[in-house]
C-alpha cells in the first residue's frame, strides 16, 4: 500500500495541511503508536484486531468449512461487521462459488434471494457474536424454514460463526454443526481478517494465507512515524484535514471490484470515529462512474471534504477496438485500463486544480495479498485516527437506543424507548 499525501498539503488545497503541521502531528502519531503497541501487546479490546494476522488460525477455518467443499454457493447470514468484511473479499475476488449475503430483513429481498440460491447446494454461515442479533436470527429462522420446505436437511448445510456461548453456540452443539469462534476483543467492523471475514473466502477457494501475509506486511509497516507507515499517513492526514474542515471523506476506488470495500470502509470509519460530536462522515463513491455524479460537488461545492482515490496499479486490461467514429479515433488502440487510469489521474488533478484536498492510495492489484494489506492498513489508520480524536474507537453505544426501541415495538419487553416512538412529532405534507 502506498499513500501519497501531496494533494493534501496546503500549498495545493484548502483545507490543506501545512508541511510543518505534519511534522508536529508526527509527534502525536509517535505517542499514539506507543498506545497502540501497548494495546496490542496486552491484547486489549479492539487493539487485538491488529494482532489478527498472528492470532487467526487459517487451518481451523479451512477445517470448519471442509464439509462444504461441494458447495456451489455460500450464503452468509449476518449484518454490519458480520457481513461486510466477507462481502468485501467476495466482491473483490473472482470465484466459481457464488457468495450471497442476507444482511437485511427486507422480506421482498429475502424472497428473491431465496429464489436465486439452491439451498441444497449452498453452505449457510450464520454469523452473530451474541447469537441474539434480531435481524440475523430472524433471517436464519426464515432460511432454516426454507430449507425444510425444500427438503434440505439444514443441519447438513449450516455452520455458525459465533461467541463461546449463546444461542448459536448451543445450536451448533445440539446439532453437531461446524462452529467457528468469533475472536475475543475484536469488534465486528474490525473482524474482516478473522473467522468472521475469512470463512466465506475459504469456501470460495481464496488463498487465506496470502490474505494474512498481506495483512502481516501491513502490521510490519506500522511505525512510530506517519512518514514511514502508509496506514498512519492515511489516518493522520484524514484526521488533520477533518480538523481543518474536511468533515466528509469520499472514498472513491477506481475498480468495480472494490465497491464493497468502500462500504466496508464507511462502516469502519463511521462507527469507530463517529462519537462525542466528532468523526468524519464517509461518503461512498466509485471511479470513474461517479465522475458523472459526484465530481461536480467535490470540485465546486463546499470546501468540507477530502477525496480518497484508491486504485490497483496493475489490472487485467482490455483493448479498445480501432474506430472511425469522428472525434473518437483517440480511443482506438488504447485500452479500457488506460482510459480508467487517465480518468483517475485527471480527476486527481482536477480536484487539486480546484484546491480540493485528496489522497492517493495505491495497491499492487486486486488480489488476496493486496486486499489483506489494504484492509489491515485501513483498520490501523482508523485506530490511529481514533487515538488522535481521543475517542473510544471500539464501542458503538449510540446504536443501543434504537435496538431497545425496536425490540419493545415487537413485544420483546418493556422499553421506555418504544414509548418514545409513539410520541413522534409530525408535520405531514401529502
Catalogue the active-site residues.
Answer: 271, 292, 403
Return the C-alpha cell found at 310: 484508491
Nearest distance in Å: CB 60, a second copy: 25
Nearest distance in Å: CB 262, a second copy: 10
User: In terms of C-beta density within 10 A (0-12 exposed, 13-18 middle, 19 or more buried), how is residue 58 classed?
Assistant: middle
Max intra-chain CA distance, the chain: 72
Under rule CB under 8 A, residue 429 binds a second copy: yes
Residues in Cβ contact with 316 at an 8 Å cutoff, skipping those fewer than 6 apart: 337
Nearest distance in Å: CB 197, a second copy: 15
What H or E segment, with its residue span, contains residue 359? strand 358-363
| Among the residue ranges 31-39, 150-158, 206-214, 314-322, the one whose residues contact a second copy (CB under 8 A) | 314-322
Nearer to a second copy, 10 or 43 (CB): 10
Q: Which of residues 342-401 bind a second copy (CB under 8 A)?
A: 342-343, 345-350, 352-354, 366, 396-399, 401
- How far does CA 366 lie from the centroid of its chain? 15
Nearer to a second copy, 37 or 137 (CB): 137
In angstroms, the CA 406 to CA 412 distance is: 9
Under rule CB under 8 A, residue 87 binds a second copy: no
**Residue 159 and residue 172 in contact, taking contact as beta carbons nearer than 8 Å:** yes
Nearer to a second copy, 275 or 369 (CB): 275
Under rule CB under 8 A, residue 338 binds a second copy: yes
Under rule CB under 8 A, residue 175 binds a second copy: no
Q: Is the peptide bond before 270 cis (omega within 30 degrees of 0)?
A: no
| Among the residue ranges 30-38, 39-47, 195-203, 311-319, the one whose residues contact a second copy (CB under 8 A) | 311-319
In angstroms, the CA 364 to CA 214 distance is: 11
| Among the residue ranges 118-126, 179-187, 379-387, 409-417, the one whose residues contact a second copy (CB under 8 A) | 409-417
CA pseudo-torsion sign 314, 320, 325, 330:
positive
In angstroms, the CA 363 to CA 370 distance is: 6
**Residue 122 and residue 128 in contact, taking contact as beta carbons nearer than 8 Å:** no
Under rule CB under 8 A, residue 299 binds a second copy: yes
Under rule CB under 8 A, residue 248 binds a second copy: yes
**Residue 386 and residue 39 in contact, taking contact as beta carbons nearer than 8 Å:** no
Under rule CB under 8 A, residue 26 binds a second copy: no
Under rule CB under 8 A, residue 276 binds a second copy: yes
Binds a second copy by CB under 8 A, chosen from 20, 70, 96, 108: 108
> C-alpha distances in angstroms, 282 versus 5, 86, 268, 364, 394?
18, 20, 9, 24, 17
Nearer to a second copy, 7 or 194 (CB): 7
Binds a second copy by CB under 8 A, chosen from 70, 96, 151, 426: 426
Nearest distance in Å: CB 59, a second copy: 30
| Among the residue ranges 35-43, 54-62, 97-105, 156-164, the one whose residues contact a second copy (CB under 8 A) | 97-105
Under rule CB under 8 A, residue 279 binds a second copy: yes
Nearest distance in Å: CB 407, a second copy: 7
- How far does CA 411 lie from the centroid of its chain? 33
Under rule CB under 8 A, residue 217 binds a second copy: no
Amino acid at each position: 500500500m502506498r499513500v501519497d499525501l501531496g494533494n493534501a498539503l496546503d500549498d495545493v488545497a484548502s483545507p490543506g495541511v501545512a508541511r510543518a503541521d505534519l511534522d508536529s502531528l508526527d509527534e502525536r502519531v509517535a505517542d499514539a503508536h506507543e498506545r497502540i503497541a501497548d494495546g496490542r501487546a496486552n491484547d486489549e479490546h479492539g487493539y487485538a484486531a491488529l494482532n489478527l494476522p498472528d492470532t487467526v488460525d487459517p487451518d481451523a477455518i479451512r477445517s470448519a468449512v471442509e464439509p462444504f467443499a461441494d458447495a456451489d454457493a455460500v450464503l452468509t447470514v449476518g449484518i454490519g461487521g458480520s457481513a461486510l468484511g466477507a462481502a468485501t473479499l467476495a466482491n473483490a475476488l473472482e470465484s466459481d462459488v457464488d457468495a450471497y449475503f442476507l444482511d437485511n430483513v427486507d422480506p421482498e429481498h429475502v424472497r428473491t434471494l431465496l429464489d436465486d440460491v439452491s439451498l441444497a447446494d449452498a453452505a449457510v454461515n450464520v454469523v452473530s457474536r451474541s447469537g441474539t442479533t434480531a435481524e440475523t436470527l430472524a433471517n436464519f429462522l426464515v432460511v432454516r424454514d426454507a430449507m425444510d420446505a425444500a427438503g434440505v436437511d439444514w443441519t447438513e448445510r449450516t455452520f455458525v460463526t459465533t461467541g463461546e456461548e449463546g444461542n448459536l453456540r448451543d445450536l451448533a452443539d445440539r446439532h453437531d454443526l461446524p462452529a467457528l469462534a468469533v475472536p475475543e476483543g475484536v469488534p465486528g467492523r474490525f473482524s474482516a481478517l478473522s473467522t468472521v471475514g475469512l470463512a466465506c473466502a475459504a469456501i470460495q477457494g481464496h488463498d487465506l494465507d496470502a490474505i494474512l501475509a498481506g495483512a502481516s506486511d501491513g502490521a510490519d509497516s506500522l511505525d512510530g512515524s506517519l512518514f514511514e507507515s502508509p496506514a498512519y499517513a492515511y489516518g493522520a492526514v484524514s484526521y488533520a484535514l477533518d480538523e481543518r474542515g474536511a468533515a466528509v471523506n469520499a472514498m472513491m476506488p477506481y475498480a468495480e471490484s472494490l465497491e464493497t470495500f468502500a462500504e466496508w470502509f464507511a462502516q469502519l470509519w463511521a462507527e469507530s470515529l463517529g462519537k462525542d460530536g466528532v468523526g468524519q462522515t464517509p461518503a461512498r463513491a466509485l471511479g470513474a462512474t461517479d465522475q458523472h455524479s459526484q465530481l461536480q460537488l467535490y470540485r465546486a461545492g463546499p470546501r468540507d471534504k477530502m477525496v480518497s482515490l484508491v486504485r490497483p496499479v496493475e489490472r487485467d486490461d482490455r483493448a479498445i477496438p480501432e474506430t472511425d467514429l469522428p472525434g473518437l479515433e483517440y480511443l482506438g488502440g488504447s485500452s479500457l485500463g488506460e482510459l480508467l487510469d487517465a480518468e483517475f489521474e485527471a480527476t486527481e488533478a482536477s480536484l487539486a486544480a480546484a484546491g480540493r484536498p485528496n489522497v492517493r492510495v495505491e495497491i499492487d492489484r486486486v488480489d488476496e495479498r493486496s486486499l489483506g494489506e489494504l484492509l489491515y492498513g485501513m483498520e490501523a489508520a482508523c485506530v490511529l485516527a481514533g487515538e488522535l480524536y481521543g475517542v473510544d474507537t471500539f464501542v458503538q453505544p449510540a446504536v443501543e437506543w434504537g435496538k431497545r426501541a425496536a425490540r419493545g415495538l415487537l413485544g420483546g419487553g418493556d422499553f421506555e424507548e418504544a414509548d418514545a416512538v409513539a410520541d413522534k412529532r409530525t408535520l405531514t405534507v401529502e
